[in-house]
Amino acid sequence: MKYLSEYRNLEATKKYLDLIAKTATKTWNIMEICGGQTHGLVKNGIINLLPDNVRMIHGPGCPVCVTPLNLIDKAIELLENGVIVCSFGDMVRVPGSKKSLLEAKANGGDLRILYSPLEAVNIAKQNPDKEVVFFAVGFETTAPANALSVLHAKKENLKNYSILVSHVLVPPAMEGILDDELCTIDAFLGAGHVCAIMGMKEYYPLVEKYNIPIVITGFEPLDLAQGIYMAVLQLEQGIYKLENQYARVVKEEGNLEAKKMMRTVFEIADREWRGIGTIPESGYRLKKEFAAFDAETKFGIQSIVTPENSACIAGQILKGIKKPHQCKQFGKSCTPSNPLGAPMVSSEGACAAYYHFSNNLITS
């Protein structure tokens, strides 16, 4: 199949759902890593069409959701001190400790919502008397474009451009989840768009170490149903391997040019995940030769530390321990217009999925 519409075919999807029901004889907990997959499962009602003994656990696969409070506060600090802060749209309504970027903009901050960090480089060229910072949030998928923006800024000899780095990596997060004593995960649906960049090599050690099936999966209804079936089939047969359902996009080696660009600009480092804590070697930081483009160092904001909101259980939701509707604040003091945490406001957040598509859910 070559076309997107084929992966939204109701009859083809139903065939795989029937196969899942016929195949699953035991209770299996399967975590979908990506927030886009969570939305696909909830929006299309797939989560309720699965047999009761196949349970989907929602993972931490939304980079906006796992961006720690202190980084949002750092971006707001820059905005309130005359820096032009540029960001993808998802980040602007995520609450910091006191306000969101959008609220800081309403108070006079120069916040620009962009589709690409290269636009931020152009803004820096057009405003040589102003400092410009791009809030570089994302998994491996957005890292190449952010690396490219730094390379362009260096080539143009721009002294007024930098990035606030919040890049996290998927495989270390999966390992962190599996090492948690409360973990009940039997298999993973891997994030297809991440693997389109990084390839599959990093996932083989996880399969081997934890004896757990990982199926790299896409985002359309048929992708999800097929990916779940492939995982259930492995579990029922007692085998553990890495499989690629998303072969039309994901190749074994990934995108070599994108990975080369990332390796040029970034190096692996420990990273804090919102609601989860610091996971060793789970993110990127700028290499020393690009330190001039590191906004935290440039503006001396490394020391800003922000405690988590005690009323928000985002960490438990991101680790798959609880579902959004199990939060006491869900739909009450926490809504998309007044979010306590990022999972309620992000377009890939599990809480937002449950809130917007509640009619598609059975939450008893």
Domain extents in the chain: 4-59+170-236, 65-168+254-298, 314-358
d(CA 153, CA 128): 12
- CA 352 – CA 38 distance, rounded (Å): 10
Average pLDDT rounded to a whole number, residues 42-57: 94
Least confident of 35-39, 208-212, 260-264: 35-39
Reported as a pLDDT band with limits 50, 70 and 90, residue 5 is: confident
pLDDT in tens, 119-152: 999 999 999 999 999 999 999 999 999 999 999 9
What is the C-alpha separation between 230 and 138, in angstroms, rounded?
28
Dump pLDDT digits (tens) for 252-285: 999 999 999 999 999 999 998 887 788 999 999 9
Confidence of residue 243 (pLDDT cuts 50, 70, 90): very high
In this prediction, residue 314 carries a pLDDT of 79
Q: Which amino acid is residue 261, in one-letter code?
A: M
The pLDDT of 339-356, averaged and rounded, is 81
Question: For the residues 16-29, what does the mean pLDDT come to?
Answer: 97
358: Cα separation from own chain's centroid = 22
| Residue 6 in this model has a pLDDT that exceeds 50 | yes
Confidence of residue 60 (pLDDT cuts 50, 70, 90): confident
In which band, very low, low, confident or very high, does the pLDDT at 363 lie, cut at 50, 70 and 90? low
**pLDDT tens digits, residue range 73-117?**
999 999 999 999 999 988 898 888 889 999 999 999 999 999 999
Q: Which of the four CATH numbers 3.40.50.11750, 1.10.260.40, 2.60.40.1120, 3.30.750.24 does domain 4-59+170-236 have?
A: 3.40.50.11750
Residue 4 pLDDT grade (very low, low, confident, very high; cuts 50, 70, 90): confident
How would residue 361 be classed by pLDDT, with cut points 50, 70 and 90? low
Q: Mean of the per-residue pLDDT values for the chain?
A: 91
pLDDT at 364: 45
Interior angle at CA 118, CA 113 and CA 121, nearest 5:
90
Q: Which residue has the higher pLDDT, 343 or 236?
A: 236
- CATH class as words, domain 65-168+254-298: alpha beta
Q: How many angstroms separate the Cα of 285 from the Cα of each of 20, 133, 256?
A: 42, 15, 20
Q: What is the mean pLDDT of residues 25-51?
A: 94
Same fold, 4-59+170-236 and 65-168+254-298: yes
What was the pLDDT predicted at 362?
Answer: 53
User: Per residue in 293-316, pLDDT tens?
Assistant: 999 999 999 888 777 777 888 778
Residue 240 CA to residue 233 CA, distance in Å, equals 10
pLDDT, position 360 = 60
CA dist 23 and 109 (Å) reads: 56
